[in-house]
Amino acid sequence: MFSLLKWNITDYIKRNTWILLGIAASLLCAALPRNSVGLLNNLLIGLASISGFIFFQAGILTAFLFVFRWAENDSVELELSLPVSSRKQVAVKLLTGALVNFLSLVFLLQLFLLIGRFSSGSYQWISGEHLKGILGWVVFLTFLESSVLFAYIFSHSYRMTRRAPDLFTALVSLVLIGTVVVCTVVIMAVTNQLIAPTFSTDSILTVEGNLQVFSFTLPNWVFLSFILLEWLVGSRLLQNRFQTS
């Protein structure tokens, strides 16, 4: 499985080298200015902010496409013929997507911390507190990717759904994601955990307050449970019933 994961990460890097170069350039533009005075410094800060947000979005989007469109490729049947179980193949795709999501969020946070040094007066680096918030976002994004991938596999696994796979993929995805999110909010409201969060300017991407939406509390345990369920059921369908045409 480690070899398969390594191959998938290498494949992602080869396909998206431009994102890595853009991330490096954005961080460099944010790190170079010594202060926020002067036209050149302001141009570098502005460029770092705009390009950083663009490459962050590109990272999240390409992670989603890497997880989902794998099943759309003509090579999917060839990959399924490899001496690797469908569970490992699906797990590796989700792990690769989660890793890209994590690194994209780390990049965005570090970029904001570099830009924010002009108001704080000193360089700030990512700490363990920041990572707590990031891990929750990774779980949520991976849940979205897992749900869409499961919906695609499901829509190509039964005769009725194969007639309109795109429609059923969209419908199943919306039902899954919508149901899980709504039920989680309702449960939190009933248990008095649903209190409007406040966002700390010192801990970007970290939610403070009783509603720890993206820390390891109720919502993320629910998301993790559904990721596990979708992985188990989806990989079984992929092995026994999935057909591309």
For residue range 38-59, list pLDDT tens digits in order.
788 788 888 888 999 999 999 9
What does the pLDDT read at residue 207? Answer: 41
Burial of 124 (0-12, 13-18, 19+ CB in 10 A): middle
Report yes or no on 31 lying in a domain: yes
Report yes or no on 11 lying in a domain: yes
Report yes or no on 151 lying in a domain: yes
pTM of the model: 0.81
Report yes or no on 90 lying in a domain: yes
Burial of 111 (0-12, 13-18, 19+ CB in 10 A): buried
What does the pLDDT read at residue 127? Answer: 75
- Taking phi first (over 0 means left), then psi (-120 to 50 degrees means alpha), and beta for anything else, what does residue 209 get? left
The answer, yes or no, to whether residue 175 has pLDDT greater than 90, is yes
Cβ partners under 8 Å of residue 8, min gap 6: 92, 93, 96
What average pLDDT does the structure give for the chain? Answer: 81
For residue range 6-16, list pLDDT tens digits in order.
888 998 999 99
Number of domains in the chain: 1
What does the pLDDT read at residue 74? Answer: 60
For residue range 191-236, list pLDDT tens digits in order.
776 655 554 545 444 444 433 444 447 778 888 999 999 999 999 9
Confidence of residue 146 (pLDDT cuts 50, 70, 90): very high
In residues, how long is the chain? 245
Report yes or no on 17 lying in a domain: yes
Confidence of residue 118 (pLDDT cuts 50, 70, 90): low
User: From CA 40, how far away is CA 140, in angstroms rounded?
Assistant: 38
What domain range includes position 25?
A: 2-240
What does the pLDDT read at residue 29? Answer: 87
Report yes or no on 245 lying in a domain: no
Question: 159 — phi, psi (to 5°)?
Answer: -60, -45
